[in-house]
Each structure stands twice: as C-alpha cells, then as structure tokens.
C-alpha cells in the first residue's frame, strides 16, 4: 500500500546523467518481493508501466468530490481549473463529476527555483467560482499563482483540491496570503513540516483504501473504486 508514491515526479529523464527515479523505485520494490501495488493519484499515469506487477491506481476524486458537491448547488456558476496542461485530464474528470466546465491555466517556470508563472487562462471564468485541482502540491506555488491569475480574470471565490499535500515549510503563510479560500487535501501523508494553514481541510482517504484491500482480499472488482 503506497498512498503517496513520493518519486512520482521522476517519471522521465529531465536532465543528463540521471536515472528515471520512479522506475528505479519500481525496480527496488519488485526486488524486495512486492507482488501488487495499490496507490492513489500518480503524478503521471505511465508510472504504472514501470512495474511488472499489477498496479491498482485509485483516485481521490470521490473522496474530495463529495466535499465540494455540497458547495456546487449550481454547477453552471463554477469552473474546474487545471493549473497546467498536464492536469487537464484530471480537471475534466472532476468537471464531469460536478457537471461543470473545465478551463486550463497556461503555466511556465522561470529560473532554477522553478517559480510558476501563469501566462493566461484558457476559458471563461469571469463571474464564476473556481476549483483548482491537481495531484499534489509541495509549496503551493502553482495553486497560488493560478488563483492570482483567476482573480485577475474576474473569478469569484477560489478553492483548490489536491490528493497529496506535502506542504513544505513556509507554505502555510503563503496560502494564508493568497486568493485561495480553502485548500482540501487528503491524509496520504502524515508528516508535516509545520502546522497547516487554517484554510486547509484534510479529508481521509482511509475508507477508500480499506475498500480496495477488502475487494482484493475477496477477489472482487477493484476497478469500480478507481473508475472516473
């Protein structure tokens, strides 16, 4: 059981003379004798192909979606936002779940610190509330930059949701000073570098993993849990 696959960003060779870190982790797990993996919201779907053993890939959508569905009584007044093109598939899945529209932020990173800069929003957001969705956040930088641009484009209340909230030191203060009204994360990570922002809400993914374990043990369908 790997709720958060920590080396998920290392899914490709991004600089010379380095390994593909997610593949190295997959090889190490198999060498240790693992014969099945259950995880949630991988950074890149192709990571499943790094394993030669079965991988059950769960999604946080039903966990997080239930929380926001109560807020979205009128989906026409909401948009689901992908903070970059890579998150468009996830945003579309959330949008279908709520019956809302999807918009995409066009993002670039500047300098060695990889500071996120949102150049434009593709889609109409003026006069609408927005939910930014992503698989994980470390500093909150991408979410905050996207929220700032959404405000500039005329969005109303802005929320964010990620499966895995790493939340490095200093992220709480940045979130408190941002345009994000609420950040929803799951409890796939236990360790925190510092107390979470008061704007952060943690929803447990434990029941979802418990159902997956039960279905695997009973040899019943697991796909019903991660279909979106």
Whether residue 199 is found in the same domain as residue 212: no
Encoding tokens for residue 104? 């995409």
Task: Report the distance separating Cα 181 and Cα 167, nearest Å.
Answer: 16
Other CB atoms closer than 10 Å to residue 175's CB: what's the count? 24
Whether residue 93 is found in the same domain as residue 148: yes
**The CATH number of the domain where 71 resides is what?**
3.40.50.2020
Whether residue 70 is found in the same domain as residue 140: yes
Residue 181 lies in a domain: yes
Residue 9 lies in a domain: no
Residue 82 lies in a domain: yes
**In this model, does residue 51 exceed pLDDT 70?**
yes
159 exposed, middle or buried (CB, 10 Å; 0-12, 13-18, 19+)?
buried
| pLDDT tens, position by position, 55-69 | 999 999 999 999 999
Whether residue 87 is found in the same domain as residue 104: yes
| pLDDT value for 114 | 57
| pLDDT tens, position by position, 150-206 | 999 999 999 999 999 999 999 999 999 999 999 999 999 988 889 999 999 999 999
Please name the residues in contact with 214: beta carbons below 8 A apart, sequence gap of 6 or more. none
- Contact 82/104 with Cβ under 8 angstroms? yes
| pLDDT tens, position by position, 215-224 | 999 988 887 7
Residue 14 lies in a domain: no
Whether residue 41 is found in the same domain as residue 132: no
| pLDDT value for 133 | 97
Whether residue 87 is found in the same domain as residue 151: yes
Full residue range of the structural domain in which residue 200 is found: 61-204
| pLDDT value for 178 | 97
| pLDDT tens, position by position, 62-92 | 999 999 998 898 999 999 999 998 899 999 9
Whether residue 30 is found in the same domain as residue 45: yes
| pLDDT tens, position by position, 109-147 | 665 555 778 889 999 999 999 999 999 999 999 999 999
| pLDDT value for 167 | 93
- Contact 201/183 with Cβ under 8 angstroms? yes
Task: Report the distance separating Cα 1 and Cα 212, nearest Å.
Answer: 10
Q: Specify which residues 187 forms β-bridges with.
A: 164
Catalytic residue among 71, 73, 107, 126, which? Answer: 107
Task: Report the distance separating Cα 53 and Cα 55, nearest Å.
Answer: 6
Whether residue 55 is found in the same domain as residue 65: no
**In this model, does residue 228 exceed pLDDT 60?**
no
Whether residue 195 is found in the same domain as residue 220: no
Whether residue 50 is found in the same domain as residue 72: no
Sheet holding 129-137, edge to edge: 115-122, 101-110, 78-82, 129-137, 158-165, 180-186, 200-203
Residue 13 lies in a domain: no
When divided into structural domains, the chain yields a total of 2
- Work out the pLDDT band at 226, boundaries 50, 70, 90: low
**In this model, does residue 95 exceed pLDDT 70?**
yes
- Work out the pLDDT band at 20, boundaries 50, 70, 90: confident
pTM over 0.85: yes
Q: What share of the chain is helix, strand, coil (3-state, %, to 5)?
A: 35, 25, 40
Known catalytic residue at 9: no
Q: How many CA atoms lie within 13 A of 211 on its CB side?
A: 13
Residue 74 lies in a domain: yes
Residue 69 lies in a domain: yes
Residue 141 lies in a domain: yes
| pLDDT value for 227 | 55
Q: Region 29-50: what's the mean pLDDT?
A: 92
Whether residue 116 is found in the same domain as residue 191: yes
Whether residue 125 is found in the same domain as residue 32: no
Task: Report the distance separating Cα 132 and Cα 146, nearest Å.
Answer: 8
């Amino acid at each position: 059981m790997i709720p958060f696959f920590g080396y998920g960003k290392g899914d490709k060779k991004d600089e010379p003379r380095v390994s593909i870190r997610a593949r190295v982790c997959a090889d190490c797990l198999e060498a240790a004798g693992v014969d099945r993996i259950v995880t949630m919201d991988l950074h890149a779907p192709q990571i499943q192909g790094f394993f030669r053993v079965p991988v059950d890939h769960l999604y946080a959508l039903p966990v997080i979606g239930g929380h926001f569905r109560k807020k979205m009584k009128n989906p026409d007044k909401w948009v689901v936002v992908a903070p970059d093109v890579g998150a468009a598939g996830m945003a579309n899945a959330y949008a279908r779940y709520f019956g809302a529209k999807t918009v995409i932020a066009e993002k670039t990173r500047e300098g060695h610190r990889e500071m996120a800069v949102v150049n434009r929003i593709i889609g109409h957001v003026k006069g609408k509330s927005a939910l930014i969705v992503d698989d994980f956040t470390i500093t909150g930088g991408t979410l905050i930059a996207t929220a700032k641009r959404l405000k500039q484009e005329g969005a109303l209340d802005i929320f964010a949701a990620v499966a895995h909230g790493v939340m490095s030191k200093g992220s709480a203060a940045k979130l408190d000073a941002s345009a994000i009204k609420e950040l929803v994360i799951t409890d796939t990570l236990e360790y925190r570098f510092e107390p979470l922002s008061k704007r952060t809400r943690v929803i447990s993914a434990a029941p979802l993993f418990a159902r997956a374990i039960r279905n695997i043990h009973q040899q019943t369908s697991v796909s019903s849990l991660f279909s979106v």
